[in-house]
Amino acid sequence: MEGSIRPEDHYHVPPLERVDLDHILDMIRNKRYFVLHAPRQTGKTSALIALCDLLNRGSDFRCVHTNVEIGQAAREDTARAIRAILSRLASRARLLGDEFLHNAWPDILAESGPDDALSEALTSWSLADPKPLVLLVDEIDSLVGDTLLSVLRQLRAGYEQRPEGFPQSVVLCGVRDIQDYRIRSGSGEMIAGGSPFNVAARSLRLGEFTEAETRALLAQHTVETGQLFTPEALDLVWTQTQGQPWLVNALCADACFDNAAGRDRSRAVTAAAVLDARERLILSRRTHLDQLAHKLEEERVRRVVEPILSGDDEPRYHLHDLDYVRDLGLVARDSPPRIANPIYAEVVPRELGYVLQDSLDQDAAWYVDAGGGLDVDKLLTAFQSFFRVHSEHWLERFEYREAGPQLVLQAFLQRVINGGGRIEREYGLGRGRTDLLILWPEGDGPSDLWSKFVVECKVFHEGKRQSLEGTIGKGLEQTLRYMDRCGSEVGHLIVFDRTEGKRWQEKVFRRAVRRDGRMVIVWGM
């Protein structure tokens, strides 16, 4: 679901149970200004609306929630943006029965000008009623450059006058934490002069659903409709989404409502149904996922994500870069950095390799044997030939060049495997490798029977602490461990030799290695 929830209409986790409400109310009572931030479509607006309703039901405060995204279209035109923001704020207050701003803001803007009108309007509005005002400002970081700077500085300007002559408490809500507000203007340049909102006492983060909250949300559907989720399906919803609220809702909406079979309430939602919904969700490139993919074009996102994709153990990003990507929800908040959940981990390489995948003339039927099984040896032989001929062209086109070999391989495999199977991917900072597990249905047997093929990728640079044979030896150990974990009898280790000036005749080889009764095919490229 997009947008804030309506408790009477939607399954939901009560928004105020997802925040430290006592702490928030204490800060409001203590006249604090603070920040609430979280990734997009995590439930920020629902939490603000619930907080606003709670405060207005009491007798201590009057509270208004407003969304300043209306000023985004004005970009750096501060006068136009402030006019739109004041108009929206007056409209929101009027819905609560407060007419003051509706009658006053045009004259205040005319007299004070855009650089002081918001501050003056808040002062006049606060003075007009002895009950302290609490202001909840949503989508604050949708504003850019001079407009963002002006709004933040005007909110700071009246801080000393609170609560009689300015809001008792102001809550700024957006994707980014407060320290990032001063980093970039609309033109991408640094904003000088320190933080324009250094009165913020705290920065609170609204997290993802916990596993218990995720299961409780799905249980509401079962209570409402009688439709069960199998234990495997419940586990899969959690592991695939890691509680990201939009993903949980989108995945289950597809499995239970958008899909005809899922609307049969007599049928339990199975793990297979969740996986099918996951694939449709990824292919749909819905707005949430499309916005996420768009962020991959930003340089400071690339600096963090590229070494995660390649398994590099020598990251070259700044702490601000990591904070920013974590605030976006793309990277988890634990260490070492990793993509936040398996669905995002699938979206990222598919998005980066989409043009290549779409241009490939490959058909799954070419690699399927007479019994319906996947001939992985034939598939990787074809990829080895493709990589030798075309890799230089495609690697030059990738902005993520350090992860280029892995992205080319995954695009090639995805083009083929989409014809009947699926790929599971594991990668992360400091791993020194990318793990791929190809799952292919076993002939005409039951739909939950899969053949498993491990493909491990490593990159070798001559002169970087380890020889080619040393890289292969370490890769074999890693491949065998991954095979053990996945229950695969045959594994494939691909070593991309990125040594400058080395001839292809020296790079390309195929070698079969048997260890402890198991076979690993080593492919040099």
Check whether 412 has a pLDDT greater than 60: yes
Confirm whether 292 is domain-assigned: no
Q: Which residues, other chains included, contact 189 with Cβ-Cβ below 8 Å and sequence gap of 6+?
A: none
Confirm whether 298 is domain-assigned: no
Q: Using alpha carbons only, what angle is made at residue 405 by residues 333 and 396, rounded to the nearest 5 degrees? A: 105
105-109, 393-397, 460-464: the lowest-pLDDT one: 460-464
Q: Are residues 178 and 238 in the same domain?
A: no
Check whether 195 has a pLDDT greater than 90: no
**Of the residues 205, 230, 247, the one at which a domain ends:** 205
Q: Are residues 245 and 315 in the same domain?
A: no
- Report d(CA 121, CA 373) in Å as an integer: 71
Confirm whether 117 is domain-assigned: yes
Counted domains in the chain: 3
Q: Are residues 375 and 271 in the same domain?
A: no
DSSP 209-239: PPHHHHHHHHHHHHHHH---B-HHHHHHHHH
Residue reference for tokens 């499309």: 290
Check whether 187 has a pLDDT greater than 70: no
Q: Are residues 197 and 320 in the same domain?
A: no
507, two tokens: 């790079």
Q: Using alpha carbons only, what angle is made at residue 255 by residues 252 and 256, rounded to the nearest 5 degrees? A: 80
Classify the C-alpha dihedral 242-244-246-248 as positive or negative. positive
The average confidence (pLDDT) of the chain is 91
189-198, 382-391, 406-415: the lowest-pLDDT one: 189-198
Confirm whether 5 is domain-assigned: no
pLDDT digits over 170-183, tens only? 999 999 887 666 54
- Report d(CA 240, CA 276) in Å as an integer: 12
Q: Are residues 335 and 223 in the same domain?
A: no
- Report d(CA 35, CA 293) in Å as an integer: 26
pLDDT digits over 422-437, tens only? 999 999 887 888 999 9
**Of the residues 205, 238, 273, the one at which a domain ends:** 205
Check whether 200 has a pLDDT greater than 80: no
Whether 524 and 458 have beta carbons less than 8 Å apart is answered as: no
Confirm whether 198 is domain-assigned: yes
Q: Are residues 38 and 84 in the same domain?
A: yes
C-beta atoms surrounding 259 within 10 Å: 16
Helix axes 245-253, 231-241, angle to 10 degrees: 140
Check whether 1 has a pLDDT greater than 80: no
- Report d(CA 101, CA 104) in Å as an integer: 5
* Domain housing 343: 307-524
pLDDT digits over 304-322, tens only? 999 999 888 777 888 889 9
- Report d(CA 320, CA 179) in Å as an integer: 9
Looking at residue 464, its pLDDT comes to 65
Q: Are residues 195 and 228 in the same domain?
A: no
Check whether 448 has a pLDDT greater than 80: no
Q: Using alpha carbons only, what angle is made at residue 80 by residues 77 and 85, rounded to the nearest 5 degrees? A: 115
Looking at residue 185, its pLDDT comes to 47
Q: Are residues 78 and 184 in the same domain?
A: yes
DSSP collapsed to 3 states, 39-70 = CCCCCHHHHHHHHHHHHHHCCCCEEEEEEHHH
- Report d(CA 271, CA 288) in Å as an integer: 23
Higher-scoring residue by pLDDT: 7, 416: 416
Q: Are residues 237 and 368 in the same domain?
A: no
Q: Are residues 225 and 369 in the same domain?
A: no
Residue reference for tokens 């690697």: 395
Burial of 341 (0-12, 13-18, 19+ CB in 10 A): buried
Banded pLDDT at 194 (limits 50, 70, 90): very low
3-state helix, strand, coil in the chain (%, to 5): 50, 15, 35
Q: Which conformational region is residue 336 in: left (phi greater than 0), alpha (psi within -120 to 50 degrees), or beta?
A: beta
- Report d(CA 388, CA 504) in Å as an integer: 7
Q: Using alpha carbons only, what angle is made at residue 219 by residues 214 and 222, rounded to the nearest 5 degrees? A: 145
Q: Which helix H or strand E contains 33, and what residues bound it?
A: strand 33-37
Check whether 334 has a pLDDT greater than 80: yes
Q: Are residues 499 and 471 in the same domain?
A: yes
Confirm whether 434 is domain-assigned: yes
Q: Are residues 215 and 197 in the same domain?
A: no
C-beta atoms surrounding 514 within 10 Å: 8
List the CATH number of the domain containing 222: 1.10.8
Looking at residue 245, its pLDDT comes to 96
List the CATH number of the domain containing 68: 3.40.50.300
Check whether 119 has a pLDDT greater than 60: yes
Q: Using alpha carbons only, what angle is made at residue 83 by residues 82 and 87, rounded to the nearest 5 degrees? A: 115
